[in-house]
């Protein structure tokens, strides 16, 4: 009797175990089905969230980089402005010296020398006035700096406009003019007879025109080659990257670059930089 009860009890336990196993397996299957059904959606949500987070981080990094770039530009403008102020102070000091020279010439009655010296001072003051009248302070500071630092070369700026509607960012204009002026000064320094560089800034209806002249000569067969990266006429002193950079910037912003070189007449780089669209005359 006891054995029979034990067998019945064991059967009940086994049935209960099998029932629990069945319930567990069924629950697991339902759980797996649920997981497999929900998992793709969860993965999509994770991917979308990660992509959104990445975009936010990229946007934030770009904002910080732009902010840093703006700060660098502002600092550069401040440095250029300070240099311009220093140049004007130096001119003020020079003017005091000029007055002493004029006073001495008057005292000695040297009318011809006095007239010539006064013309020199007048032209110098007009040049400074035109440079400081440029609305692009970076260009004004660049011209003053090049005039002050060029060794054994006379830079003659001829300013016929104020660059009020220049469309290019100032740093791009400085890159263009800086490279062209440096090249012109280099050519003038190695020229035997003429040691001056002429810079003329003018305008037409659509463009501001920058002409940089030097006494050197570029053979026609090199007209295209000098704009190739790595090519330089300066030997070891040149990197061969200046003119390619100049050309690339000009073309990127819709400008034009012309090269005119004749033996005995010198070389002129003529740059056309577009004005802001709001300043252009409306078509009839």
Provide mean pLDDT across the span 62-88.
63
Selection from 21-25, 121-125, 137-141 with the highest mean pLDDT: 137-141
Q: What is the residue-wise DSSP string for the chain?
A: -HHHHHHHHHHHHHHHHHHHHHHHHHHHHHHHHHHHHHHHHHHHHHHHHHHHHHHHHHHHHHHHHHHHHHHHHHHHHHHHHHHHHHHHHHHHHHHHHHHHHHHHHHHHT-HHHHHHHHHHHHHHHHHHHHHHT-S-HHHHHHHHHHHHH-SS-EEEEEE----TTB-S-HHHHHHHHHHHHHHHHHHHHT-SS--EEEEEEEE-SSEEEEEEEES----GGGTTGGGSTT--SSGGG--S-HHHHHHHHHHHTT-EEEEEEETTTEEEEEEEEEBPGGGSPPP-
Q: What is the pLDDT of residues 131-190, one digit of tens each?
A: 888 888 889 888 988 887 887 899 999 999 999 999 999 889 999 999 999 999 999 998
Whether pTM > 0.75 for this model: the answer is no
Domains, in order of start, for the chain: 136-284 (3.30.565.10)
């Amino acid at each position: 009797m006891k054995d029979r009860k034990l067998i019945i009890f064991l059967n009940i336990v086994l049935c209960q175990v099998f029932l629990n196993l069945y319930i567990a397996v069924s629950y697991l299957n339902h759980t797996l089905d649920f997981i497999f059904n929900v998992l793709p959606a969860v993965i999509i949500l994770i991917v979308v969230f990660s992509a959104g987070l990445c975009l936010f981080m990229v946007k934030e990094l770009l904002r910080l980089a732009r902010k840093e770039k703006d700060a660098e530009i502002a600092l550069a403008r401040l440095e250029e402005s300070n240099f311009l102020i220093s140049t004007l102070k130096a001119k003020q000091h020079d003017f005091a010296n000029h007055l002493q020279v004029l006073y001495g010439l008057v005292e000695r009655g040297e009318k011809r020398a006095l007239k010539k010296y006064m013309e020199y001072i007048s032209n110098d003051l007009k040049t400074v006035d035109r440079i400081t009248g440029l609305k692009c302070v970076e260009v004004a500071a660049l011209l003053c700096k090049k005039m002050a630092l060029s060794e054994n070369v006379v830079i003659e700026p001829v300013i016929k406009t104020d660059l009020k509607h220049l469309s290019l960012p100032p740093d791009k204009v400085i890159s263009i003019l800086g490279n062209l002026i440096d090249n012109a000064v280099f050519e003038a320094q190695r020229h035997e007879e003429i040691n001056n560089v002429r810079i003329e800034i003018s305008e037409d209806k659509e463009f501001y025109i920058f002409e940089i002249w030097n006494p050197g000569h570029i053979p026609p067969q090199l007209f295209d080659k000098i704009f190739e990266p790595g090519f330089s006429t300066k030997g070891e002193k040149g990197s061969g990257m200046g003119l390619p950079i100049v050309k690339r910037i000009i073309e990127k912003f819709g400008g034009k670059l012309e090269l005119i070189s004749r033996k005995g007449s010198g070389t002129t780089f003529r740059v056309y930089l577009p004005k802001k669209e709001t300043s252009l005359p409306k078509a009839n």
